[in-house]
């Protein structure tokens, strides 16, 4: 794959040259209603989750995908709700969703939470309590306007929706947290260069030229939502790069927290980089035994971020 990285366009040009997703108007109205339904001191978090796709054809048969099951995002959304946040969950269609993640992608086997007894299908007794809690929580949070789910598929869908939601929640200021766990492609093929129909194999090998995606964290922090508490994620596979890249992101965009994680240890260990702790990031970790016992690292991570978010809110109130 030959990557053409010379032409870096700015974010506005990107929006001028790509089409918005079909759910953009719906998302605008729903987010608007959602934030108007919140009380004046309600803390709100935008959780992004799952990977973006980059289509290779306009009538898309093939696409390049970014790695993310949506575990981090869906699990964190549940934790934020438990801590009293209202959650806007911007997620990749078909990736894990809060309260459904243990059933839609059950690692113990398809429908393994069900059994047939005397001809009747029923939930296995060992699943009943957990399923009951998930059902109750999901219904409670959606009915109380505490959980709103908006889905994306492509990189372009994601960026349009991210900008739309950011501009809507920005006016609520410091009590809004951005928790940007979605895995977002760094490269894309501009729509004018896309093949209209399925690329044919008759001409032999395929060489792709991909442009660099403009860095959207910059306008998000500077222009779209400058008063909000912004947490981005940095994913690497080379341990030598993780710290330097996390520090670089903090310096470049000037936001509040970068959570650094390695692909293979992301369920056990994450580092929290801030301006003050750039050389000595706080570590959050759990053991394999914790994980086997059903404990998720997101419990500790979200608790810590909520604490820091509260400090941020208090410090901005003192400045007023
Ligand atoms: C993450 O680093 C997330 O923690 C994971 C979660 C994607 C690893 P899963 O969904 O995985 O639980 O399977 N997300 C951010 C990845 C990303 O694209 N970051 C960009 C980068 O590293 C910057 S925003 O350059």
CATH code for the domain in which residue 282 is found: 3.40.50.10300
What average pLDDT score do residues 14-20 get?
92
Q: Which atom of ligand 1 is nearest to the CA of 71?
A: 12
Give the pLDDT band (50/70/90) at residue 317. Answer: confident
Farthest-apart Cα atoms in the chain, separation: 67
pTM higher than 0.90:
yes
Q: Which atom of ligand 1 is nearest to the CA of 232?
A: 24
65 CA from centroid of ligand 1 (Å): 13
67 CA from centroid of ligand 1 (Å): 8
Give the pLDDT band (50/70/90) at residue 7. Answer: low
What average pLDDT score do residues 191-209 get?
92
* 247 assigned to some structural domain: yes
What average pLDDT score do residues 145-160 get?
98
Q: Identify the CA nearest to 38 among candidates 141, 135, 162.
A: 141
> What pLDDT, on the 0 to 100 scale, is given for residue 2?
45
* 4 assigned to some structural domain: no
**Length of the chain in residues, anyone?**
320
Q: What is the pLDDT of residues 237-274, one digit of tens each?
A: 999 999 999 999 999 999 999 999 999 999 999 999 99
Q: What is the pLDDT of residues 41-75, one digit of tens each?
A: 999 999 999 999 999 999 999 999 999 999 999 99
* 187 assigned to some structural domain: yes
* 3 assigned to some structural domain: no
* 2 assigned to some structural domain: no
For ligand 1, whether the C-beta of 233 sits within 6 Å is yes
8 CA from centroid of ligand 1 (Å): 22
Q: How far apart are CA 232 and CA 214, in angstroms?
A: 16
Question: Does the pLDDT value for residue 5 go beyond 50?
Answer: no
108 CA from centroid of ligand 1 (Å): 25
Q: Where are the alpha helices (DSSP H) in 96-212?
A: 101-104, 125-143, 155-169
Give the pLDDT band (50/70/90) at residue 117. Answer: very high
Domain interval for residue 136: 11-319
* 45 assigned to some structural domain: yes
ipTM comes to: 0.96
DSSP bridge partners of 164: none
The residue whose CA is least distant from atom 16 of ligand 1 is 183
> What pLDDT, on the 0 to 100 scale, is given for residue 250?
97
* 299 assigned to some structural domain: yes
Structural domain count of the chain: 1
Q: Which of 41-45, 292-296, 307-311 has the lowest mean pLDDT?
A: 292-296
* 249 assigned to some structural domain: yes
Q: Where are the alpha helices (DSSP H) in 277-320?
A: 288-292, 297-319
């Amino acid at each position: 794959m030959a990557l053409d990285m010379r032409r870096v366009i700015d974010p506005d040009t990107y929006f001028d040259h790509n089409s918005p997703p079909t759910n953009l108007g719906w998302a605008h109205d729903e987010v608007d209603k959602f934030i108007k339904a919140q009380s004046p001191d309600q803390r709100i978090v935008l959780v992004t989750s799952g990977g973006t796709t980059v289509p290779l054809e306009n009538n898309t048969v093939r696409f390049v995908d970014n790695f993310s099951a949506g575990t981090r995002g869906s699990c964190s959304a549940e934790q934020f709700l438990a801590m009293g946040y209202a959650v806007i969950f911007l997620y990749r269609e078909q990736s894990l969703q809060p309260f459904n993640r243990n059933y839609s992608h059950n690692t113990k086997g398809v429908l393994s939470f069900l059994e047939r007894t005397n001809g009747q299908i029923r939930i296995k007794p060992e699943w009943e309590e957990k399923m009951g809690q998930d059902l109750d929580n999901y219904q409670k949070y959606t009915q109380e306007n505490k959980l709103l789910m908006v889905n994306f598929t492509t990189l372009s869908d994601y960026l349009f929706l991210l900008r739309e939601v950011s501009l809507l929640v920005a006016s609520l200021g410091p009590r809004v947290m951005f928790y940007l766990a979605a895995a977002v492609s760094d490269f894309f093929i501009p729509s004018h260069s896309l093949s209209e129909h399925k690329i044919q194999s008759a001409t032999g090998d395929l060489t792709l030229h991909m442009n660099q995606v403009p860095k959207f964290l910059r306008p998000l922090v500077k222009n779209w939502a400058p008063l909000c508490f912004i947490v981005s994620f940095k994913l690497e596979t080379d341990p030598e790069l993780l710290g330097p890249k996390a520090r670089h992101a903090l310096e470049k965009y000037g936001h509040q927290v970068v959570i650094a994680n390695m692909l293979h240890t992301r369920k056990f260990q994450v580092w929290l980089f801030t301006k003050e702790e750039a050389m000595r990031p706080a570590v959050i970790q759990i053991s394999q035994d914790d994980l086997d016992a059903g404990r998720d690292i997101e419990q500790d991570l979200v608790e810590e971020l909520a604490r820091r978010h509260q400090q941020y809110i208090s410090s901005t109130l003192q400045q007023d």
